[in-house]
Amino acid sequence: MGRAFVFGDNIDTDLLAPGHAMKLEPREMARFCLEAVDPQFASVVRRGDIVVAGANFGMGSSREQAAISLKLLGVAAVFAQSFARIFYRNAINIGLPALVLPEAGEIAAGDEIGFDLEQGRADNRTQGRAYAFQALPPHLLAVIRDGGLTEHLKRRFNGTRA
């Protein structure tokens, strides 16, 4: 359960991980995440909050720091109408759920959102609405549950996961 932070279409990786912050350590860089569209975002987002956006979220460069910044800030998931392919894979690879939700535009800033990855369901507790999102396939759910691709592969090759 977390608060929704709502953004529009075409949020690019330069907005998520600005060029001027790229030489900083990841936790420091995250302080500048989305500053160009919401200067307060990094200072007010809390662990468990949700980013909600329109189409083509994460477009632009392939910088994985874009997804890393969101994860370091405690974002529990990103719901968007669609994702740029490289951002989507980067998010999954670090254990950040990137979930396609066609009705993302119906969610308002500050709405309390809960979600269930296995059921493919999001609940907007503020509006009393439920949404079905595109469920992740089992192999990607396993990556998310394990905390990202690196941890998933460690578990798999160490025999701690079937």
Q: What percent of the chain has pLDDT over 90?
A: 93
Which conformational region is residue 159 in: left (phi greater than 0), alpha (psi within -120 to 50 degrees), or beta? left
Residue ranges per domain, the chain? 2-135
- Res. 134: pLDDT tops 90: no
Give the model confidence (pLDDT) of 81-94 as tens digits. 999 999 999 999 99
**Segment 111-132 mean pLDDT:** 97
Q: Is 35 exposed, middle or buried (0-12, 13-18, 19+ CB in 10 A)?
A: middle
* Distance of alpha carbon 30 from alpha carbon 16, whole angstroms: 8
Q: What does the mean pLDDT of the chain come to?
A: 95
Three-state SS for 78? strand
pLDDT at 160: 63
Q: Which CATH superfamily is domain 2-135 in?
A: Aconitase, domain 4 (3.20.19.10)
**Among 34, 76, 85, 78, CA closest to 56:** 85
Q: Are 45 and 23 in contact (CB under 8 A)?
A: no
Give the model confidence (pLDDT) of 29-47 as tens digits. 999 999 999 999 999 999 9
pTM: 0.94
